Amino acid sequence: MKPQPLILLVEDEPEIRGFVRSALQAEGYRVHEAQQCARALIDAAARHPELVLLDLGLPDADGTQFLRRFRAWSQAPVIVLSARNDEGAKVGALDLGADDYLTKPFGVAELLARVRAALRRRGTTDEGTTLRFGDVVIDLARQSVARQGVPVRLTPVEYRLLEVLARHAGALLTHRRLLREVWGPHAVESPHYVRVYMGRLRHKLEPEPARPRHLLTESGAGYRLLP
């Protein structure tokens, strides 16, 4: 039997660490804990966790230092757990490669939902698979899209934007990250590109484009595709 995913919990506050650990273990996940950035980097390299839950306010270094160094060699999903609720902190962490950002205090149900989404996303990134949300199917091998079994014609840019969102389904992707991955580094100061093309995708793929259920805007931060 395949072992349950290993989650690295990087948090220095004992109460929060215990709360999160209990919630994860109750769902069957394996949990390893670290209280400092330096220790977390060593443990991540040694244990190769399937997911990291990361506090930013660590005693020996800011959590963004862990994120920057971890992303140099691992693409395992990282969910930030932080009391910093300002937009700049959120966007900064996401731009460094965090997959999601959960502001303290948070509930067990929301935490577990974010964890499931991140692990599900990790399991659907191989080439040749199909990605699905709602009644839409994306065939990565053929680079084709169908809705309710009917092919949908997308431009190359529309397809690339949809593919990036779908490969990170559930994650909050900033404007800068989408611009960098879809249009290239020269376009990171042109956020209107994303807004225009998201509108086009909604009209082609959402049942009610004005009230999207899957291609969602996160005000001031970016966009998220919900399966």
Question: For all residues of the chain together, what is the average pLDDT?
Answer: 88
Q: What is the DSSP letter of 62?
A: B
Query: Can 6-122 and 130-225 be said to share one CATH topology?
Result: no
Report, as an integer, the average pLDDT of 196-220: 93
Annotate the chain with three-state secondary structure: CCCCCEEEEECCCHHHHHHHHHHHHHCCCEEEEECCHHHHHHHHHHHCCCEEEECCECCCCEHHHHHHHHCCCCCCCEEEEECCCCHHHHHHHHHCCCCEEEECCCCHHHHHHHHHHHHHHHCCCCCCCEEEECCEEEECCCCEEEECCEEECCCHHHHHHHHHHHHCCCCEEEHHHHHHHHHCHHHCCCCHHHHHHHHHHHHHHCCCCCCCCCEEEECCCEEEECC
**Has domain 130-225 been given CATH number 3.30.390.30?**
no
Q: For the chain, which residues make up each domain, given as ranges?
A: 6-122, 130-225
Which top CATH class is 6-122? alpha beta
pLDDT reading at 20 higher than 80 = yes
Please write the tens of the pLDDT for every residue from 58-100: 999 999 999 988 887 887 889 999 988 888 888 888 888 888 9
